[in-house]
Amino acid sequence: MNRFHLALSLVLGCCFLLSKPLVADDALSPFAMSKQFSADQVTTTQDMTITSKIFVDSGKIRTEMTTANMQVISIVRPDLKTVYSVMPAQKMVMEMPFDPSKVGQLTPASAPDSKFEVVGSETVEGIACTKYKITAKDGKVSFMWVDAAKKIPVKMAADDNSYSLLWKNYKIGPQAASLFDVPTGYQVMKMPAMAMPAAAPHASAAAATTSATPDSSAPTTAPSGASSGSGQ
């Protein structure tokens, strides 16, 4: 699995986590992730660190990253059951089917019946945070640090330090609709669904495998429109 696919797996995992409401067991310390936000994201695994930008609006997701000296923009459109990989240097777009219902457990926090427990307070990146222990039904554990004052995520990590996700410059608010459209004038290539590895023990931020068979309900044309986002 190459760096881009791994990074996209982690990004999808955290994005689906952040797009769903989460409430800790302690009723006095609930937290809910915004459905509209942008942030800088630092993804760290045991052998690499990847910095990306992320934009989320009502289920739509856009990430911008540079890997192997090439900028790649990923646009996830659950409403269209489609994922787009945009390569500005080549003026090319790869269009792949995407079925959110086929995405399995992404992180302990997104698994059914996960338990959230307040375990203390810590400072992360100079921010006073409430630390939560998240235990999935199968016993997998991760931790999340949430800004105690603003109730927004700051960091998530596996209990064995196999991965961590750090969010900086987290800004809540609507995102420009054009961010989630592919740019005009790009060549669009239809591809089969990208297979992502199932979440392994102690590395549960990786996304579950999606079907490799193109989804017949995927759109036949990409949404068009010039984007105001970087790289387009």
Domain boundaries, the chain: 3-110+171-190
Sign of the dihedral through C-alpha 188, 189, 190, 192: negative
* Sheet order of strands, 163-172 included: 115-124, 127-135, 141-147, 153-158, 163-172, 36-45, 49-57, 60-67, 70-77, 82-87, 92-97, 187-190
Sequence-distant (≥ 6) Cβ neighbours of residue 48 within 8 angstroms = 3, 6
Give the pLDDT score at 31.
Answer: 61
Give the pLDDT score at 193.
Answer: 72
Residue 112: strand, helix, or coil: coil
Give the pLDDT score at 75.
Answer: 93
Strands 115-124 and 82-87, how do they pair? unpaired
Determine the Cα–Cα distance for residues 195 and 33; give it in Å rounded to an integer.
27
Give the pLDDT score at 134.
Answer: 87
Q: Is 113 left (phi over 0), alpha (psi -120 to 50) or beta?
A: left
How far, CA to CA in Å, does 184 sit from each of 44, 140, 222? 33, 43, 10
| Residue at 119: amino acid letter | V
CB 43 within 8 A of CB 165: yes
Residue 102 DSSP one-character state: G
Determine the Cα–Cα distance for residues 48 and 67; give it in Å rounded to an integer.
11
Residue 12: strand, helix, or coil: helix
Tokens 């307070």 — which residue?
121
Nearest C-alpha neighbor of 140 from the set 158, 117, 116, 118:
158
End-to-end CA separation in angstroms for the chain: 27
Per-residue pLDDT of the chain in tens (232 residues, 90 and over written 9): 455 555 555 555 555 555 554 544 444 344 666 789 999 999 888 888 888 899 999 889 999 988 778 888 999 998 999 999 999 999 999 999 987 665 544 455 555 567 888 999 999 999 999 999 988 877 889 899 999 998 888 999 989 888 898 999 999 999 999 999 999 999 999 988 755 444 332 223 322 222 222 333 333 345 544 333 444 5
Reading the block at residue 57, the tokens are 């609006």
| Residue at 226: amino acid letter | A
